[in-house]
């Protein structure tokens, strides 16, 4: 592994940890689903930075995907799982708008 790749991996990992702590500190009480989504987005950005520094080869054929380097592959998979679980948690924790039972009773008004 080249020194530049190692330094970039260490720096992005430290920045990722700082952002995860900040996101958890700010958003976990209000919306845990949003916190999971934001952590996943930050993690995917870190995976992209690590992949670009390590020299991801882009194929010339239009039908082929870009190969992700082995160092950022697991990070990207965890990011996708976090984003999807955050979206699922936000959808599951929505207040349900069902039928509301009325507490009011009909009364007669005498004039």
DSSP letter at 56 equals P
The CA-based angle 80-51-87, given to 5 degrees, is 15
Do the domain assignments include residue 72?
A: yes
pTM of the model: 0.65
Closest CA to 15 of 42, 53, 35, 40: 42
> Mind listing the pLDDT tens digit of every residue in the chain (111 residues)?
578 778 888 888 888 889 888 888 888 888 888 888 999 998 888 888 877 777 655 445 555 555 545 566 788 888 889 999 999 988 888 777 665 566 767 777 776
Do the domain assignments include residue 109?
A: no
Do the domain assignments include residue 106?
A: no
Cα–chain center distance at 10: 21
Do the domain assignments include residue 99?
A: no
């Amino acid at each position: 592994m080249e020194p530049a790749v190692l330094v970039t991996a260490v720096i992005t990992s430290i920045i990722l940890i700082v952002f995860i702590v900040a996101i958890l500190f700010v958003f976990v009480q209000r919306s845990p689903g949003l916190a999971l989504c934001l952590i996943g987005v930050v993690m995917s950005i870190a995976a992209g930075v690590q992949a670009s520094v390590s020299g991801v080869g882009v194929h010339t054929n239009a039908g082929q995907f870009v190969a992700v380097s082995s160092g950022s592959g697991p990070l990207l998979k965890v990011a996708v799982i976090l984003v999807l679980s955050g979206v699922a948690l936000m959808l599951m924790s929505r207040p349900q708008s069902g039928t509301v039972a009325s507490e009011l009773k009909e009364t007669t008004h005498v004039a």
